[in-house]
């Protein structure tokens, strides 16, 4: 590939431009694409059946060499694609030089990236569903556990713990939908686009698509070799998924603290301190928060790389890989470790119930009680606000207040005000999506059907 030049490439340039240290991960995809390409060339009479068979056997052998670690990959050959081609020529001589007929490294790389992305998306969806199942198991095992729901990190209204877990299930279900959408746009064959303009050979792109498991072929050769939307889209979906995991991580950090004491992490998912023997640190959750920023950074990097590139292929696009690989690895590992952490999480139901019964968490229910007596809600809100202020000043809870004290704020308070409890608060929210036990049971059933592929 240096025939055009009078000098060999400078060693510093060779090192700077080499990508084999990271794109070696594409060896399986590259070999699969090359085998399909060789078969297509033979089918179309562009190379002989004998040559295609020889190439296919050699490529299979090269894949085994790479997996055994017996093939030393060379930086001077720039990338995994040229390393494989060079080894192919070593094995079968000039026959190996025929493989690159009717393709360019541009559509070859685009193909490899799409094959890798399709596999990554499928694995990501599987891992998300595994975490969803763990959340459902935890929710169902604690379906009667009551806890405070929060706004502004202040106790707001009582909810079922299962209801809280189902909120994360819904977040993750949106993630599944995003990755499935991404898969649809990734599932496009670019091979056959050549460097940018197509190829002057009678190739069969539909055959290639079928061989490689693509549902359709690209419609524009320039777009096909320069498109990295699927990489960006995966990273965007991954960023949102990591954001969801980071929110769960933050709650686990809070809930496992002595101040909350709502949950206890399994020893296998916590670490100790180098000097403080009593510590049980939620390092998994903390690292997930930090790794979320790392994934965000990868998304911003690829957006910045692509934003000003003219059509079609530019070497800048070599920078699409490291951040993408890192995001895939980070998301998959985070999903895996979260699944184990959630599956082994111990919920302290007595502690969460006490927290739900303390303070003035039933204030909204008292306002609703007055609404039931015909008071406009805003007026009821004001009455109960004054009642809360009075109780705080007196150091009393709602249960401690006498009926006469209640009546001093509204004559509509009757003995039945003491029937306003955490249980009645939960039962009252018997609307679709609400935290009433019957509604949560239906939500759990629906969620279980979803992860089993029976619904949604």
- The residues annotated with a catalytic role in the active site are 152, 273
Which residues fall within 8 angstroms of residue 146, CB to CB, at 6 or more apart?
158, 159, 160, 161, 349, 352, 353, 356, 422, 426
Which among 372, 409, 403, 404 has a CA at the least distance from the CA of 390?
Answer: 409
> Rounded to 10 degrees, what is the CA torsion of 107, 111, 117, 121?
130
Taking 3-state DSSP, the helix, strand and coil percentages for the chain, each rounded to the nearest 5, stand at: 65, 5, 30
**Cα(232)–Cα(234) distance, rounded to whole angstroms?**
5
Instruction: Using DSSP bridges, classify how beta strands 146-151 and 346-347 pair: parallel, antiparallel or unpaired.
Output: unpaired
Which residues fall within 8 angstroms of residue 245, CB to CB, at 6 or more apart?
288, 292, 334, 335, 338
Residue whose tokens read 């920078």: 319
> Rounded to 10 degrees, what is the CA torsion of 134, 139, 141, 145?
150
**DSSP three-state, residue 45:** coil
- Angstrom distances, CA of residue 384 to CA of 363, 393, 420: 7, 14, 13
**Structure tokens belonging to residue 299:** 């998304």
Please say whether the beta carbons of 426 and 158 come within 8 A. Answer: yes
**Cα(376)–Cα(367) distance, rounded to whole angstroms?**
9
**Cα(256)–Cα(341) distance, rounded to whole angstroms?**
12
Which among 218, 234, 231 has a CA at the least distance from the CA of 317?
Answer: 231
Residue whose tokens read 């029937």: 419
């Amino acid at each position: 590939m240096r025939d055009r030049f009078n000098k060999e490439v400078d060693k510093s340039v060779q090192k700077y431009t080499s990508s084999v240290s990271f794109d070696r991960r594409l060896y399986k995809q590259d070999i699969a694409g090359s085998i399909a390409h060789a078969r297509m060339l033979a089918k179309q009479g562009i190379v002989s059946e004998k040559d295609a068979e020889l190439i296919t056997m050699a490529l299979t052998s090269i894949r085994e060499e790479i997996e055994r670690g017996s093939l030393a990959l060379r930086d001077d050959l720039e990338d995994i694609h040229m390393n494989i081609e060079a080894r192919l020529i070593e094995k079968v001589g000039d026959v190996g030089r025929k493989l690159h007929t009717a393709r360019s490294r541009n559509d070859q790389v685009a193909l490899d990236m799409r094959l890798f992305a399709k596999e990554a998306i499928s694995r990501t969806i599987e891992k998300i569903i595994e975490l969803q199942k763990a959340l459902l198991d935890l929710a169902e095992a604690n379906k009667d556990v009551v806890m405070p729901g929060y706004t502004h990190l202040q106790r707001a209204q009582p909810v079922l713990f299962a209801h809280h877990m189902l909120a994360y299930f819904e977040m993750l279900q949106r993630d599944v939908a995003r990755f499935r959408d991404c898969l649809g746009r990734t599932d496009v064959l670019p091979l056959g686009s050549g460097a940018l303009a197509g190829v002057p050979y009678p190739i069969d792109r539909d055959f290639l698509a079928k061989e490689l498991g693509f549902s359709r072929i690209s419609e524009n050769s320039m777009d096909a070799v320069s498109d990295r939307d699927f990489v960006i889209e995966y990273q965007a979906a991954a960023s949102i998924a990591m954001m969801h995991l980071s929110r769960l991580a933050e709650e686990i950090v809070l809930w496992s603290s002595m101040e909350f004491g709502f949950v206890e992490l399994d020893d296998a998912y916590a670490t100790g301190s180098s000097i403080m023997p009593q510590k049980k640190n939620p390092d998994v959750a903390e690292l997930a928060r930090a790794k979320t920023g790392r994934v965000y950074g990868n998304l911003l990097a690829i957006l910045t790389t692509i934003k000003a590139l003219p059509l079609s292929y530019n070497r800048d696009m070599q920078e699409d890989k490291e951040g993408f690989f890192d995001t895939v690895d980070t998301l998959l590992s985070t999903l895996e470790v979260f699944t184990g952490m959630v599956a082994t999480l111990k919920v302290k139901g007595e502690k969460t119930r006490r927290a739900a019964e303390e303070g003035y968490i039933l204030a909204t229910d008292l306002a609703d009680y007055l609404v039931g007596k015909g008071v406009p809600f805003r007026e009821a809100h004001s009455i109960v606000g004054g009642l809360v202020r009075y109780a705080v000043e007196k150091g009393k809870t709602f249960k401690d207040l006498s009926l006469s004290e209640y009546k001093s704020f509204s004559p509509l308070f009757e003995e039945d005000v003491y029937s306003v409890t955490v249980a009645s608060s939960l039962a009252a929210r018997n609307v679709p999506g609400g935290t009433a036990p019957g509604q949560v049971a239906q939500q759990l059933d629906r969620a279980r059907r979803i992860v089993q592929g029976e619904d949604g």
